[in-house]
Amino acid sequence: MPTPQRHGAWEVAAPTEGRAIPGVTMVGFRDRSGGTFEERIPPGPAIAIVIDCTPGSLEPLGSGAIEGGIVAGISPTAARMAGRAVDCVELQVDMLAAPDLLGVPTAELNGAPLDLAEVWGRDAGRLRARLIEARSWDDRFALVREVLARRRRSSFHIDPEVADAWRRIRAGHGQVPIGDLPGRYGWSRTRFWKRFKSQIGVTPKRAAMIVRFDRALRLLGTTASVAEVAAEIGYADQSHLHREVLTFTGRTPGSIASDPLWTVDNTAWTLAHAS
């Protein structure tokens, strides 16, 4: 059974039992203070799904409240989310697994966050109701795995070349010579760009930028300094990292590194990847 970790008023948990769903990482968050939060949803190298485990609602700012769950693509458009008394399960679904698990091409998930019910239909409401009633994190994670396993379909084709390019970009933390990839597959640059964007949702160059940025965010949640993060990730200099983080999050690297909420988020995903 998962042993939740406490960080101030926050509790985080990750699965430790049960068969994992390939391409899916899960964590649980609970804010015992009952307070409110507001956070920008940054781009990331996975489809993010946040499933509310309370009778309340999540609110993507600029649109109406969403009851149940939110789905955000690899490159959401300046999306911000607010809520109160957070108690949720969050999933990160790899781009290669997402189409078969969600039932839609990943390119359709960019833009404003979607209500999970728009993607999963009635399954979203049924799952949320069961999550609210679940007695433990282990029960919640098992319920999510059950729904994912049942919904998996093999109805979306991703070219082996596109899948290989995506894996190389992820494995290299975005520091991959993108211009060399088309030749590896015997494709023209135009064909590679078009196929990759239609199946992943962004261009190869944008994908590499997002993967590198995500790695930088994770390091900002550690003891590394902003200068050390910039050097580690391969940014030209500290100001380059500053500009990119500001563009994607609306915040400076320093403010993120010192944000207790970001530290909680980073701790949760580190726990999930280690379990």
DSSP assignments along 41-88, one per residue: ----SSEEEEEE-SSS-BEETTS--BSSEEEE-SSBSS-EEEEES-EE
How many C-beta atoms surround the C-beta of residue 209 within 10 A?
20
> 142 to each of 93, 220, 231, how far by Cα in Å?
16, 31, 40
Residues 6+ apart with CB under 8 A from 141: 2, 15, 18, 26, 28, 89
Mean pLDDT of 247-255: 86
pLDDT per residue as tens digits for the range 33-92: 877 777 777 888 999 999 988 876 555 544 555 667 889 888 766 566 766 678 899 999
Q: How far apart are CA 26 and CA 3, in angstroms?
A: 14
Q: How far apart are CA 132 and CA 72, in angstroms?
A: 22
Residue 236 in this model has a pLDDT that exceeds 80? yes
Residue 275 in this model has a pLDDT that exceeds 70? no
Convert 61-77 to b/e letters by CB count within 10 Å (16 or more is b).
Answer: eeeeebbbbbbbbbbbe
Query: If you average pLDDT over every residue of the chain, what do you get?
Result: 86
- Determine which of 30-34, 63-67, 242-246 has the lowest per-residue pLDDT on average: 63-67
Determine the pLDDT at residue 260. 79
User: Rounded to two decimals, what is the model's pTM?
Assistant: 0.88
Mean pLDDT of 166-181: 95
Helix-then-strand count for the chain, H and E:
12, 10
Residue 135 in this model has a pLDDT that exceeds 80? yes
Closest by CA to 178, choosing from 212, 134, 152, is 212
- Kindly report the backbone phi and psi dihedral angles of residue 117, in degrees, each rounded to the nearest multiple of 5, phi listed first: -65, -25
Domains of the chain: 5-151 (2.60.120), 160-274 (1.10.10.60)
State the first-to-last Cα distance of the chain, in angstroms, to the nearest integer.
11
Mean pLDDT of 123-130: 92
